[in-house]
Structure 1
């Protein structure tokens, strides 16, 4: 006798559209690697609630020691309203786990979608190049809500525009460990979000290739095949390439039938103007021009500098862990 399939929690479009960026796979933590968590980037330092329900617990935990980060992080647990669960396809009694927000709420408080939970915090659980965000995961009914393991698959119910890129751009933003290139302009007026696309036209998600795996987004303008799925979406075992180089292999879906496939990154180096850098940070973002984030703590680029990115096979690719 086999266990019933897990429910996938599918975030409605109006929930995700509160935020400037989102990603399911741009993290080395196990929940993200399996498509069982999503990071939502507000852009203004306010940790808004992506769910509706009642706060059941608030916890403060110690962070890994990072010179750029706070010593503590915070967990907010919300028991979800039945109406919210029904819209998201979650079982009644599902709870949400929210991290990286300094809580301005307490157990017993009611929250709705868009309510301010508190300011976001710079957490030692993520890299210095990572923007402040709301980490969101879900635990099924009767599970320990304080544990991350066993979280439900997560998907987002909105299409993402696929943006083609030739690997070039001009530096428009600098940070201690990253730069952002002015990437290509978006071409479609409809979708709220866009992401860099593979050579096959699939929007990509994750840390390429400094985390072990990444994923894809559901593409806008998809042409369904005979089975109703996007004919461009890779199936398990298909090769995925970018800038003319094979970067990985599509794996099982991360996030149930409505989630797009995971991608297991191959042995690839990212080079910028000939120098090896840590990698590319891939996500879905709003805005007319799609910026490309290069993770490069050991390489300095000047504002206005022209950069050409190449992807090349590697015998020793960079892989970052969670320690």
Structure 2
């Protein structure tokens, strides 16, 4: 059993990813992260709020010391549209709830402001984590989510790996390339050499994925992905297991490359590089090479 997120569930969100996280909930594509336009958690589902809960999270100097969970009993009609069993439950994280148990929410309703949670890295933008549980499963346990697919076409964007730094953060830089083919319209993502849009943290998380697959998001077992001439991964269920590779920026190793689907004009390659300094306007050329000791970041 799986859940397929309808296109209108992405209204109010500029980006999404199923694999760009080290946490088990994203293993095998069992959750989706939705990146909002303006720091608000817009409901991607319809139903009745069952409960809200405040939870502790990893201690990070740049993040809040607590996070929040919103549990929604989904409407039968929303479940039908998503191919989910009636009684399926949604779990929303990283939103400070401005809704209460018993409140009815529809797709597009404002649930509250997003919070900068210690559950994600400093280079990760604020987002809404969405997962689903079967009717008879616990909605409070950290594990047990259903596989999630997203009913939207993502346009593959080819790129030669070259760009210019246009933004610097404490642990990342943003390049001006690749450029979005239709800003504000379709979703797009960096393409593999085979022309398949890629998703995930390459290769600082153990696995990633592609946008596509069958109706449940599962990949053909023969699927492989190559980037900049080097094989980077092979099919592993609904995702890709990354090969042992390093991402290079101007010939030196960086932590990795953050991959996602986007429809905003600010789309460009996000290079995770906490130990490297790049200047605004600096030209950067990315490459991928096999590695005997690849960087792998955990959830701790």
> How high is the TM-score relative to the length of structure 2?
0.95
Q: Does 1:245 align with 2:230?
A: yes
Structure 2 equivalent of residue 273 of structure 1:
250
Q: Is the Cα contact below 8 Å between 1:183 and 1:289 reproduced in 2?
A: no
Name the SS of the counterpart of 1:291 in structure 2: coil
Change (3 A) 1:190 1:289: closer
Name the SS of the counterpart of 2:140 in structure 1: coil
Task: Quote how far apart the aligned CAs of 1:142 are.
Answer: 1.7
Runs of 4+ with >4 A deviation: 188-191
Whole-Å Cα distance in 2 between the matches of residues 70 and 290 of structure 1? Answer: 27
Name the SS of the counterpart of 2:269 in structure 1: strand
Aligned 1:34-53 pairs, distance under 5 A: 34-53=28-47
| Equivalent residue in structure 2 for 1:284, among 254, 261, 266 | 261
Task: Quote how far apart the aligned CAs of 1:293 are.
Answer: 0.3
Whole-Å Cα distance in 2 between the matches of residues 290 and 47 of structure 1? Answer: 21
Q: Does 1:143 align with 2:120?
A: no
Structure 1 equivalent of residue 289 of structure 2:
312
**Is there any run of 5+ residues in structure 1 with no aligned partner, and where?**
1-5, 220-228, 255-261
Task: Quote how far apart the aligned CAs of 1:190 are.
Answer: 10
Count of residue pairs the alignment pairs up = 298
**Is there any run of 5+ residues in structure 2 with no aligned partner, and where?**
none
| Equivalent residue in structure 1 for 2:68, among 64, 68, 74 | 74
Q: Does 1:119 align with 2:113?
A: yes
| Equivalent residue in structure 2 for 1:12, among 1, 6, 24 | 6
Structure 2 equivalent of residue 30 of structure 1:
24
Q: What root-mean-square deviation, in Å, do the aligned CA atoms of Structure 1 and Structure 2 show?
A: 1.8
Structure 2 equivalent of residue 175 of structure 1:
169
Name the SS of the counterpart of 1:311 in structure 2: strand
Change (3 A) 1:313 1:188: same
Deviates more, 1:143-152 or 1:186-195: 186-195
Change (3 A) 1:207 1:189: closer
| Equivalent residue in structure 1 for 2:157, among 160, 163, 167 | 163
Change (3 A) 1:202 1:110: same
Task: Quote how far apart the aligned CAs of 1:184 are.
Answer: 2.6
Q: Is the Cα contact below 8 Å between 1:161 and 1:188 reproduced in 2?
A: no
Structure 1 equivalent of residue 298 of structure 2:
321
Change (3 A) 1:236 1:159: same
Whole-Å Cα distance in 2 between the matches of residues 55 and 91 of structure 1? Answer: 18
Q: Is the Cα contact below 8 Å between 2:87 and 2:135 reproduced in 1?
A: yes
CA offsets, 1:229-248, max 9 Å, x none? 79xx9731443100001111
Q: Does 1:303 align with 2:280?
A: yes
Structure 2 equivalent of residue 226 of structure 1:
none
